[in-house]
Amino acid sequence: MKGHDAEIQWVDGKAKIIDLVGLHARPAVKLTKLAKSYKSEVEICSGENRNWVNAKSPNAVMKLRADYNSPLFVRASGSDAAQAVKAIIDLVDRNFNE
Amino acid sequence: MSESSALRVLQGLPASGGLAFGRCHMLNSDSSPRELGLPDDEMDIFEAARSESESELQRLIEQSDELGGEILEFQAMLLEDDSILGPVRSRISKGEPADAAWSAVLDGEISEYEEMESEYLAARAVDLKDLRERVLRSMAEPGSVQREIDCGAVIVADVLGPSAFLEIDWTRAGGLALGRDSATGHVAILARSRGVPMIVGVNGICDIAHGRAVLLDGDAGTLTVGSSRQLSKRHEQLADRLEKNRAATASFSFSPAKTKAGRRITVSINVGDPAALVSIDPKICDGIGLVRTEFLFARGELPSEDVQTRQYRRIVNWAQGRPVTIRTLDAGGDKPVPGLTVDGESNPFLGTRGLRLSLLNPDSFKTQLRAIARAAALGPVKAMLPMVTATSEFMLAREHLDDALADLEQDGARYARPELGIMVETPAAALTAGEWPTDFYSIGSNDLVQYVTACARDNPDLSNLSDPMHPAVLELIGRTIQAANRRGVEASLCGEMASMPSMVPVLLSLGLEAFSVDPSNVAQVKMAIAEFEDA
């Protein structure tokens, strides 16, 4: 499951939730699906508490409770980490195509 | 509003507007227990139920429109989510029955969602319950139940998940009434998007006999049980009124309110839980004239500053630059809050309520003022003090606000000073209105009527005496407006009176220029204003 290095190399990124309800079910599904399309481990976290969760788990993403206007941090580790981070940031910036 | 004695009206909350008249169709969702097999067999049972549920969901997703499909997709993805599957599989391999293991893990997740402070997230618990039931059903008896529904039937259930909603043939069924669930749940979203009239939170709903005639009013939030002859007549009347309202809404909602002569009048809305704002377009109003913050305190514990700030910010963001008036906690009287209000008062309406209660609990009052000031950094926000009689109370409240702002400054927080105003609800406040150094006045006509006519709001025998058109009430409203004009600040009215089109002419002739009304009455009030001829 992990990358090849002993020490995990993360690629980081940051976006902002602009939907009024915050990160809710439909966007959470879109984010999870997108994350699953990459081989890398992808994690996200939100707001003040830096609790990284698996971006491929819709349950964990939902429970992040990412609010309107709150920053969303993304990190990935693996062969396609940079693409994964960029794709997820783009999705959030496009307001999940809502 | 007298009802014939043979009709029984059950009160719930509106979730999706419209009328439905038909037979009651009761849904039951019981799953029976099963015998325990070996861990390997149990694992097979679970995996089979999981994959059956997944393909059922996929089939439903294909049949549904975009919105329905995306809601079900969340459930389908949970069936592949390791954060759920992992614990279920580990329980089964330790010897638990498949259904018990599945229920235990899902129940844990469900209560986590239910405990979340955001009502939106708490409502997601319904999706997990829906999924729990689907998989359990599949374990008990593979293949789901086909339900035969009478044309026009009103579906009645204690709870109903989104997937069960989507399985119902809504070309036949006419409406939906639920004992629980919320107006912000996925089922309510689906019902609104499909124009299915729906109400939630109806007590005693399971006592209605299957097949009885019922009339559902999705705007009033009621379910009436009675003879089909009586109900049919009532249905006709309501349908007629609804049709007229709709026609009015279409033409008046989105234009600013003006009298016949073109004088501009402010029409704002009253709100409670911000979740209700999701379905309202801010363009229909000039702002929010009253945010009732009691919803934050309804859970029996005091909400933290962050929780309050988040909710107030949601409202300010929704308003997109329009002013938002947040009323500080108005507990007491007929609105007890456990742990805060005083129990056993002999006369709660004349007791420790509104600002009186806040001044007795300075810590929680300051927390609320800090949250309001933090939200004020995002847009124009006013803070309104309920139930005041003496100007000294206003001075004390202002000192608390000053303290709160000084603390925020010291903490380096983002904030802005909200305007501070009073709600005029007591004869004392109305008669001395000109002496208050308040930034604005908002007339709370419901309590003003109660205190001027000495008629308790909760006593139905006095309803004809507790008259908002009593000359004494109108006199006090007029004096308050004049005092505000002399001081050059705004006077608005946010009681039920403002929402009643028949009251609009008299309020306008008293000089009122700002109304704050129920969102559902905006169009009618604007229409009544447009018909008014300035003297």
At residue B34, the pLDDT reads 56
The 10s digit of each residue's pLDDT in B116-156 is 877 777 778 888 999 999 898 877 754 344 456 778 899 99
Residue found under tokens 């729990």 = B132
* 8 Å CB contact of A25 and B109: no
Map residue B73 onto helix, strand or coil: helix
Query: What are the boundaries of each domain within chain B?
Result: 8-27+147-245, 39-140, 265-530
Q: For residue B492, what pLDDT band results from cuts at 50, 70 and 90?
A: very high
B222 pLDDT higher than 90? yes
CA-nearest of B428, B430, B439 to B401 is: B439
- How many whole angstroms separate alpha carbon B488 and alpha carbon B350? 31
At residue A48, the pLDDT reads 66
- How many whole angstroms separate alpha carbon B322 and alpha carbon B312? 14
At residue B143, the pLDDT reads 39
- How many whole angstroms separate alpha carbon B507 and alpha carbon B322? 23
Shortest Cα–Cα distance, B438 to chain A (Å): 33
Instruction: Indicate the number of domains in chain A.
Output: 1
Contacts of A22 in chain B (CB under 8 A): 118, 120
* CATH number of the domain that residue A93 is part of: 3.30.1340.10
- Asked if the structure places residue A36 within a domain, the reply is yes
Q: For residue A2, what pLDDT band results from cuts at 50, 70 and 90?
A: very low
- List Cα–Cα distances, A9 to A54, A81, B303, B359, in angstroms: 16, 9, 40, 55
Give the B window 271-310 contacts with A, CB below 8 Å: 278, 310
Assess contact for B520 and B497: CB atoms under 8 A.
Answer: no
A92 in reach of chain B (CB within 8 A): no
State which CATH number among 3.30.565.10, 1.10.274.10, 1.10.3720.10, 3.40.50.2030 fits the domain covering B39-140. 1.10.274.10
Q: For residue B229, what pLDDT band results from cuts at 50, 70 and 90?
A: confident
- Asked if the structure places residue A2 within a domain, the reply is no
Burial class (CB in 10 A: 0-12, 13-18, 19+), B438: buried
Is B206 an annotated catalytic residue? no
The 10s digit of each residue's pLDDT in B425-467 is 999 999 999 999 999 999 999 999 999 999 887 776 777 788 8
* Most trustworthy range by pLDDT among B147-156, B161-170, B193-202, B316-325: B316-325
Residues 6+ apart with CB under 8 A from B166: B60, B63, B64, B68, B72, B190
Q: For residue B249, what pLDDT band results from cuts at 50, 70 and 90?
A: low
- Asked if the structure places residue A5 within a domain, the reply is no
CA-nearest of B515, B527, B458 to B259 is: B527
Residue scoring higher pLDDT (B161 or B214): B214
CA-nearest of B506, B519, B520 to B529 is: B506
Using CA atoms in the order B169, B69, B192, B519, what is the torsion angle rounded to 10 degrees? 170
B464 in reach of chain A (CB within 8 A): no
- Asked if the structure places residue A53 within a domain, the reply is yes
Domain residue limits at A72: 11-97
Q: For residue B113, what pLDDT band results from cuts at 50, 70 and 90?
A: confident
Q: For residue B483, what pLDDT band results from cuts at 50, 70 and 90?
A: very high
A69 in reach of chain B (CB within 8 A): yes
Residues 6+ apart with CB under 8 A from B338: B300
State which CATH number among 3.90.650.10, 3.50.30.10, 3.40.50.720, 3.30.470.20 fits the domain covering B8-27+147-245. 3.50.30.10
B184 pLDDT higher than 70? no
Catalytic pick among A10, A16, A19, A24:
A24
A20 pLDDT higher than 80? no
Catalytic pick among B25, B186, B235, B285:
B186
Pick from B71, B81, B318: which is nearest to A59 by CB?
A: B81
- How many whole angstroms separate alpha carbon B89 and alpha carbon A30? 26
Shortest Cα–Cα distance, A96 to chain B (Å): 13
At residue B146, the pLDDT reads 43
Using CA atoms in the order B186, B189, B190, B191, what is the torsion angle rounded to 10 degrees? 120
Report ipTM (2 d.p.): 0.79
Q: Which helix H or strand E contains A33, and what residues bound it?
A: helix A25-36
Residue found under tokens 């819709």 = A58
Residue scoring higher pLDDT (B443 or B238): B443
Check residue B95 and give left, alpha or beta (phi > 0: left; psi -120 to 50: alpha): left
At residue B13, the pLDDT reads 85
B109 in reach of chain A (CB within 8 A): yes
At residue B297, the pLDDT reads 85
B159 pLDDT higher than 90? no
* B31 token code pair: 């799953």
Q: For residue A21, what pLDDT band results from cuts at 50, 70 and 90?
A: low
The answer to whether B8-27+147-245 and B39-140 have equal CATH topology is no
Q: Which helix H or strand E contains B442, and what residues bound it?
A: strand B440-443
At residue B3, the pLDDT reads 41
- Asked if the structure places residue A3 within a domain, the reply is no
Q: Which of A34, A37, A41, A62 to mutate to test the interface with B (most CBs of B within 10 A)?
A: A62
Average pLDDT across chain B, whole number? 88
Q: Among A36-40, B23-27, B153-157, B230-234, where is mean pLDDT lowest?
A: B23-27
- State the average pLDDT over residues B457-480: 88
Order of strands across the sheet that contains A41-46? A11-16, A71-77, A41-46, A53-54
Pick from A20, A28, A32: which is nearest to B318 by CB?
A: A20
At residue B300, the pLDDT reads 65
Measured in residues, chain B has a length of 535
Q: Which of B58, B83, B132, B280 to mutate to test the interface with A (most CBs of A within 10 A)?
A: B83
Q: Which fold has domain B265-530?
A: TIM Barrel (3.20.20)
* 8 Å CB contact of B186 and A25: yes
* B436 token code pair: 């208050």
B2 pLDDT higher than 60? no
Residue found under tokens 């830096």 = A50
- State the average pLDDT over residues B311-317: 94
Q: Which helix H or strand E contains B490, and what residues bound it?
A: strand B490-493
The 10s digit of each residue's pLDDT in A69-95 is 778 889 999 999 999 999 999 998 888
- Asked if the structure places residue A1 within a domain, the reply is no
The 10s digit of each residue's pLDDT in B374-418 is 999 999 999 999 999 999 999 999 999 999 999 999 999 999 999
Shortest Cα–Cα distance, A12 to chain B (Å): 23
Assess contact for B201 and B181: CB atoms under 8 A.
Answer: yes
Assess contact for B513 and B463: CB atoms under 8 A.
Answer: no
Q: For residue A27, what pLDDT band results from cuts at 50, 70 and 90?
A: confident
At residue B369, the pLDDT reads 98
Q: pTM for the full model?
A: 0.55
Map residue B129 onto helix, strand or coil: helix
Q: What percent of chain B has pLDDT over 70?
A: 94
